[in-house]
Amino acid sequence: MNDATTPTRTRPFFGMALVNRLCGWWTALVLAFLYLPLALLIAYSFNASRLNVVWEGFTVRWYREMLANEPLIRALKNSVLIAGVTTILSVVIGTTGAWLLHSYRYRFRRLWEALVFVPIAVPEVIMGIGLLILFTAVAPGINGFLDSAFGAANETRFALGFVTTIIAHVTFCFPLVLVAVQARLADLDPAMEEAALDLGATPLVAFWRVIVPCIMPAIISGALMAFTLSMDEVLVTYFVCGPESKTLPLEIYDNVRKGLNPMLNAISAVFVAATAILVVIAERIRRIGR
């Protein structure tokens, strides 16, 4: 399209370009706002002072201390595992759920939609205590079943740990994916799925080949939200985790309560840097794969 030749068009197009330019500046500004605390904590992770008050010189002491702190490193590993599994399960449950609720007229559809909404609305302490009561109530039954099924040599025990933590995290994470995907499906052109179906694709193939690529941006943003929430949640996790499945936010919470410790700045910086690098690598792999 050659805008310059038609004067009537230049004005509004100029207007839109200006709007986009302004939005770009705004984005930069908001990003600065978002990164201000991050920049600060990275700076302080190299500060010789124990307190985040004055600059007392450069040091890598906190990084050394962090690496030597076994509970912290273990919590980081736990967290990555829990957030990763949570994200995958949430994406699967949330995306299929959103698509099904979008494309079929289920009986009691409103009720199902309202139920999905409950984990978003319920206060964390209520969810944590509710799940704790549930898990402790069913544990003897499940363990009895495991013992009778696998005999006396059975070592598998149902107790608070990784499984319960992941269950809890998926419960409050998958609705985020569902809501994000549903918003996108709402204005998806139904003709696309129709065309696929008309061309003889089964609904499942149509979903996988046509719908999923179309809603991919929403799936990615839903996955990001799920991962972020799982990496950040403290209170529900407190109630459902066991000693070996303690997550990083919980470990940080326990350590930071009595005032900031630069070691925690250091581990945050490392984690952020590591994930950023991983993402860049993943993007590279994806592009090479094409």
Partner 1 sequence: MQAAHATAARVGGRRPGLVGWLLLCPMLLWLAAFVVVPTLILAYASFTRADEDTGFPIYRGGLTFENYRRIVLDDDGHFLRTEQEEITTVDRDGTERVTGTHATTVIAAPYLRVFGSSLLYAGITTVLCVFVGYPMAWYIGRANERTRNRLLMLVMIPFWTGFLIRTYAWITILATDGLLNGLLQYTHAITQPFGMLYTPGAVVLGLVYSYLPFMILPIYGSVEKLDHTLVEAALDLGAGPLATFRKIILPLTRPGIAAGVLLVFVPAVGMYAISSLMGGGRTPMIGDVIQNQFFTGRDWPFGCALGITLVAMFVAAFAILAKFRSSVTGSDHAFRAR
Partner 2 sequence: MKFIRVLLLLLAVLALPLTTFAAEKREVLNLFCWSEYVPQPVIEAFTKETGIKVNVENYDSNEKMLAKLLAGGAKYDLIQPSEYVVESLIKQGQLEELNRASLPNFKNLDAKFTDMAHDPGNKFSVPWMAGSVGIVVNTEKIKDEVTGYADVFSGKYRRRIVVLDDNREIVSWALATLGIPINDISKDTLAKARPVVKGWLPQIKAFDSDSPKTKFLKGDVDIGIVWSGEAALLWRETKGSGKFRFVLPKEGAHMFVDSLCIPKGAAHREAAEKFINHILKPEISALISKDFPYTNPNTAARALLAAEELGNPASYPPGATKLDIFKDIGKTAREIDRMMTDLRSR
CA geometry: angle at 175 spanning 92 and 273, to 5°? 75
Query: Least distance to partner 2 from the beta carbon of 254, Å?
Result: 4
Residue 93 touches which of partner 1, partner 2, none (CB < 5 to 8 A by kind)? partner 1
Q: From the CB of 246, what's the least distance to partner 2, in Å?
A: 7
Angle (CA) 5 9 15, round 5°: 125
Question: Which DSSP category does 210 fall into?
Answer: I
Residue (34 or 153) nearer to partner 1, CB: 34
Binding mask 43-82 for partner 2 (x = CB under 8 A): --------x-x---------------x-x--x--xx-xx-
State which of positions 154-183 bind partner 2 (CB under 8 A).
Answer: 159-160
Asked if 114 contacts 249 with a C-beta cutoff of 8 angstroms, the reply is no
- The CA distances from residue 176 to 96, 155, 167, in Å, are 13, 36, 15
Residue 246 binds which entry of partner 1, partner 2, none, with Cβ cut-offs from 5 to 8 Å by kind? partner 2
Residue matched to tokens 């809501």: 179
Distance CA 72, CA 250 (A): 10
Q: How far is the CB of 79 from partner 2 (least distance, A)?
A: 10
- Listed in sequence order, the residues at least 6 apart from 174 whose beta carbon sits closer than 8 Å to its beta carbon are 89, 90, 91, 93, 94, 97, 226
| Contacts to partner 2 by CB under 8 A | 51, 53, 69, 71, 74, 77-78, 80-81, 84-85, 87-88, 91, 129, 132-133, 135-136, 139, 159-160, 212, 216, 219-220, 223, 238-239, 241-244, 246, 250, 253-255, 257-260, 278, 282, 285-286, 289
